[in-house]
Structure formats: C-alpha cells, structure tokens
C-alpha cells in the first residue's frame, strides 16, 4: 500500500511559504492500520511532526511536486502496489518563481505580487497510469459532502472517494467519514482516527479485486 499524508509546503521565499492546516493524523492512522492488517506500507509525508508508524517505510517531502515525484518513484520501484490512498491535503497552487532571497518590505505601500501556477494532481496522475493500483481519494469539503464527493470521484477516476469536512478534521484526533463508491455512500460516524482508519482499511479490503499477477 502506498499513501500520501499531511500538508504540502510551497515556498514563497527562503523563509515563507503557502501551506494548510492538515496535521497528517488521518493519513498516518491509515498507514498504521494498513500495516497492522499485514500490508507492506510506504508513506509519502508532507511536513508534519508525527512519529513514523512502526514497520512503515516513510519518505519525507515538502512540496506537491516532490510528493508527486516520490509517489511516481515508489510506484516505479514497486509496480505491483495494490492500493494507493491519497490522504494528503496537497496545495493546488505554488508560487511560479519563488525568490532566492527573503522578500523585503520596502515602503508603506510595498506589496509583492505573487504569480501562482497549478500543481500536478498526484491522485489523478496515479489513476491514469497503465495498470494503476486500486485508488482511494479523499475530499475535504465544507458542505454538500455527498454531491461534491460523487463529482470528485468521477473527476479523479477513482473507485472510492472518502469525503470529510475539512474544518472538522484538520488537526483533530477524531473525524467522521463518508465513503462514496459506484453503489452509493456509507457513513462512518464520528470516532477517533485510529478506529476510523481500521474501519476504512476493512472497507477497502472488501472492495479490492483479487491480487494482481
């Protein structure tokens, strides 16, 4: 199983950047639950202070591009990876041309203009690969979980999409999940992230096609 977790950090200059409030707790809990279920697990983690779950191989990255490249390298190294779970809250945009020097405020009206460009969509790229692993996406929404989740599942081209409320999960030890697949949706009610992770791993295992060649 290959997973991404945590936020990404997109530099503006050597001391500033764009990031988000993802703690990595949900992704790390799922990595731990996969390992406990007997999987060989690689976890590509954005910046977080969390301890590596025992028995899990961890690759630390900062930016979305680095996360994309680490995921591609992990899949190239282990082409028979069965499952990919994209839990990371990847920044949609990065600064086009980060400054090599700290930006200085030079006067009362001095405001830097930042040009943003889109980051690669890691999950969509994995789902588009020839012979992809079975892909699970996450969606942090603010409302309308089911409709937004179904739309996102279709847009990303993945069999299972897990929707949650962004501001009700980031940084917390508990969460609630809505699992959306081609048959409809199933709610995993509010619980600690370790329990939800175990339940999600069981749901993934039930849906998984027979092991590939």
Q: Which two tokens stand for residue 57?
A: 């191989």
Q: How far is the CB of 192 from ligand C5P (least distance, A)?
A: 21
Residues near 167 by Cβ (< 8 Å), separated by ≥ 6? 142
- Looking at the DSSP assignment, which residues form a beta bridge with residue 93? 118
* Nearest in space to 1 (alpha carbons), one of 83, 86, 87: 83
Distance between CA atoms of residues 5 and 2, nearest Å = 10
Is residue 139 close enough to count as binding ligand C5P by CB under 6 A?
Answer: yes
What minimum distance in Å lies between the beta carbon of 103 and ligand C5P?
25
| Residue 175 known to be catalytic | no
Asked whether position 137 contacts ligand C5P by CB under 6 A, the answer is yes
163 sits near ligand C5P (criterion: CB under 6 A): no
Size of the site for ligand C5P (CB under 6 A): 14
Closer of 87 and 178 to ligand C5P (Cβ): 87
Rounded least distance, CB 149 to ligand C5P, Å:
10
Coil vs helix vs strand at 202: helix
Determine, following the binding rule CB under 6 A, whether residue 74 of this chain makes contact with ligand C5P.
no
Which is the catalytic residue, given 20, 119, 164, 175?
Answer: 20
Binding of ligand C5P at residue 164 (CB under 6 A)? no
| Residue 56 within binding range of ligand C5P, rule CB under 6 A | no
For 107, counting Cβ atoms within 10 Å of its Cβ (0-12 exposed, 13-18 middle, 19+ buried), the class is: exposed
Alpha-carbon span 136 to 182, nearest angstrom: 13
CA dihedral (121, 162, 147, 158) in degrees, to 10, reads: 50
Cβ proximity to ligand C5P: between 110 and 115 the closer is: 115
Q: Which parts of this chain interact with ligand C5P (CB under 6 A)?
A: 4, 64, 86-88, 90, 119, 121-123, 137-139, 152
- Annotated active-site positions, please? 20
């Amino acid at each position: 199983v290959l997973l991404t977790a945590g936020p990404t950090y997109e530099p503006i200059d050597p001391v500033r950047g764009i990031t988000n409030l993802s703690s990595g707790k949900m992704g790390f809990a799922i990595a731990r639950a996969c390992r406990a279920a007997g999987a060989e697990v690689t976890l590509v983690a954005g910046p977080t202070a969390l301890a590596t779950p025992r028995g899990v191989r961890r690759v630390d990255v900062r930016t979305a591009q680095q996360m994309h490249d680490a995921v591609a390298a992990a899949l190239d190294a282990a082409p028979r990876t069965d499952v990919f779970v994209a839990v990371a809250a990847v920044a949609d945009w990065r600064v086009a041309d980060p400054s090599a020097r700290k930006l200085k405020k030079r006067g009362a009206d001095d405001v830097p203009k930042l040009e943003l460009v889109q980051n690669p969509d890691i999950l969509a790229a994995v789902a588009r690969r020839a012979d992809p692993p079975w892909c699970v996406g996450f969606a942090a929404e603010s409302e309308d979980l089911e409709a937004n989740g179904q739309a996102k599942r279709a847009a990303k081209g993945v069999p299972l999409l897990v929707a949650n409320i962004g501001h009700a999960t980031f940084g917390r030890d508990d969460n609630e999940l809505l699992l959306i697949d081609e048959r409809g949706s199933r709610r995993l009610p509010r619980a600690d992230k370790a329990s939800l992770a175990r339940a999600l791993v069981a749901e993934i295992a039930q849906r998984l096609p027979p092991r590939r060649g």
